[in-house]
Structure 1
Amino acid sequence: MGNASVSFVLCHEEFDHRLVDSCFQEEAEALTDLEIRYDLVDFVALKQQDGAAAVRRVRSAAQPTIAIYRGWMLAEAEYAVLHAALQTKNLTLLNTPAQYAHCHYLPNCYARIEAFTPKSIWIPNHEVRELDEIVAQVQAFGPKAAIVKDYVKSRKHEWHEACFIPSTSDADAVRRVVTNFIERQGNDLQGGLIFREFIPLLPAGTHPQSGMPLTQEWRSLVLDGQVIETAPYWDVQFYCESPPMQKLEAVLANVKSRFFSCDVAQAADGNWWIIELGDAQVAGLPPTTKPEVFFRRVTERVSHE
């Protein structure tokens, strides 16, 4: 091991600060088994941007320590609050607020992956006005299919109602899907609207609850430009060829983040596409990834820096 110490921070249950959030229980158990330190933070306080309250129960480190957050998604300002609050405990998050925002919001990293990701246009919140203006802007795709999302999330589990637009030249379809998306996102709509060209990808069945079409998507986790894990995104048996992550590492090395996720999928024509990037601290682990293996790889690499 090198000189760098590594610690983790996880979210606690909303109504019991002594318990890790149940969605991260398996990860907490893996950290315990590996004898890696972790502390619990208050996610509700973070959403309120109350840094002192959020880290009230975090132990101060005896020496400067690198911290890695494993919890629910945070807006850029909320992550900055966590970053500053943890520094009062001698803990510094692995990704700076700028690095977090770089991958968390697609417009920030789009130029870095533009040649390898579906064509996208975005309309910031302050420019989202009349539906007719939105309809006019998506004409840039021509009569192609597209999906709508905000800067962070789609409503892919409401595929036909609030995500997929069969043809952007169909003004009524654009109005209907966009209206549904905006209304259903409500106050959770982040950044603005993004429209992405829909590219037919190799299928992997349909989601049993929502009926959303599943594709043979893979999630990779990248640390300091190196892929440390690649596994199927969905827990289904229809996967074929593994992605050529070594070929993509040259592209991913240009991403302005130390620790991020990269979702890729293969199109029907055989080409591989980067579907999206995200901050790895708030990215779910693929279903076949064992938390203890993931944490061991991360801590070994970070502690040797």
Structure 2
Amino acid sequence: MMLLVPSDVLRPRHPDAHFAAEASAARASGIEVALVDHDALATSAGARQAVCRVPAGDDAVYRGWMLRSEQYAAFANALAQRDVTLRTTAGHYRRAHELPGWYSSLAAVTPRSVWTVGDDRAAFDRARSDLGPGPAVLRDYVKSMKHYWTEAAFIPELSDAEKAWAVANRFRELRAEDMVGGFVLRGFENFTSYEVRTWWVDGRCQLIGPHPDNPDDAAVADPDLSLVRPLVAELGLPFVTVDLFLRADDRWRVVEIGDGQVSDRPHAITPEAMITMLQSGAS
């Protein structure tokens, strides 16, 4: 297995500081580490330049900053031209990275959701009607604006068309060119725990820890994965994270699935544990 990490912007022969510890742990385990230019990856035309220092190899895993699905596809194609195969294909990445890719498989354990294609008002109103009255949380295919909760994330009542659209419009303004796909409306559920991030390789949960956004002193609950486990396995994805909350009725609910390559690692999970987990899927 080869580990690919972003290079430092100012020192391109060194790994980005955010991923340097994982790169060091990989090298200590005998894993080859190669650097890619994330800024070049951010434009499809720059994918070949981004991977110009990656040596030929059979199997690779990326640990780096988030990419749009089309950028990841260009990344995978540029690597293939160098005889490097990403363990996570472009199709795998899109399915994990964008909510419409995984929602139907996890519908039984995640808040009810509807979405639009594009960001126009008519499509938003149709989605709002489809979800029905009541409170909802707004996001796009890959991200919410939860740090702007009252103005761009939480909709107290979907039947109030103007107030709901005001939240959607503010969300669109804040996401700007980073908005992906369209609006996603999710039925609001009352959660009572801190968020838990679980890490899965080839459909098996390998690590459980806090979400990186949790306070440092937040206790991490041990989630009941009995309902979640077979559903994640059926997705057939090589490396994902599954974020969960405990609902007020003591049921664990999935709030997000993400591609593990671009999911942030909390300090509670060591770089060595991350590398050991990735090696478990190398065979």
- Would you call these one fold, judging by a TM-score over 0.5? yes
Q: Could you say which residue in structure 2 is the equivalent of 1:111?
A: 104
CA distance in 1, matches of 2:4, 2:184: 31
The number of aligned residues is 280
Are the counterparts in 1 of residues 196 and 220 from structure 2 also a CA contact under 8 Å?
A: no
Q: 1:90 aligned to 75, 79, 83, which one? A: 83
Q: Could you say which residue in structure 2 is the equivalent of 1:228?
A: 206
Q: Could you say which residue in structure 2 is the equivalent of 1:289?
A: 269
**Structure 1 residues 51 and 114, CA, compared in 2 at 3 Å: closer, same or farther?**
same
Q: 2:236 aligned to 251, 256, 264, which one? A: 256
CA distance in 2, matches of 1:133, 1:52: 37
Q: 1:177 aligned to 142, 167, 171, which one? A: 167
User: How big is the shift at 1:225?
Assistant: 1.1
SS of 1:17's partner is: coil
SS of 1:90's partner is: coil
Aligned partner of 2:84: which letter?
L
Are the counterparts in 1 of residues 151 and 167 from structure 2 also a CA contact under 8 Å?
A: yes
CA distance in 2, matches of 1:240, 1:67: 31
Q: Could you say which residue in structure 1 is the equivalent of 2:53?
A: 57
**Which structure 2 residue ranges, 5 or more long, are not aligned?**
none
Q: Could you say which residue in structure 2 is the equivalent of 1:121?
A: 114
Are the counterparts in 1 of residues 109 and 227 from structure 2 also a CA contact under 8 Å?
A: no
State the TM-score, normalized to the length of structure 2: 0.93
Are the counterparts in 2 of residues 9 and 67 from structure 1 also a CA contact under 8 Å?
A: yes
User: How big is the shift at 1:129?
Assistant: 2.2
Identity of matched residues, % = 31
State the TM-score, normalized to the length of structure 1: 0.86
Q: How do residues 194-213 of structure 1 correspond to structure 2 at under 5 angstroms? A: 194-203=184-193
CA distance in 1, matches of 2:216, 2:6: 29
Structure 1 range deviating more: 146-155 or 234-243:
234-243
Aligned partner of 1:77: which letter?
E
Structure 1 residue ranges, 4+ long, deviating more than 4 angstroms after superposition: none
User: How big is the shift at 1:140?
Assistant: 3.1
- Is 1:134 the equivalent of 2:127? no
**Structure 1 residues 58 and 135, CA, compared in 2 at 3 Å: closer, same or farther?**
same
User: How big is the shift at 1:81?
Assistant: 1.3
Q: 1:42 aligned to 31, 37, 46, which one? A: 37
**Which structure 1 residue ranges, 5 or more long, are not aligned?**
1-5, 204-215
Are the counterparts in 1 of residues 88 and 239 from structure 2 also a CA contact under 8 Å?
A: yes
Q: 1:71 aligned to 28, 40, 64, which one? A: 64
- Higher-strand-fraction structure: 1
SS of 2:60's partner is: strand
Aligned partner of 2:55: which letter?
R
Deviations 1:4-23 (CA, angstroms, capped at 9, x unpaired): xx011001123431121122
SS of 2:162's partner is: helix
User: How big is the shift at 1:84?
Assistant: 1.6
CA distance in 2, matches of 1:224, 1:153: 24
- Is 1:26 the equivalent of 2:4? no
Deviations 1:212-246 (CA, angstroms, capped at 9, x unpaired): xxxx2111111111111111212444436410124
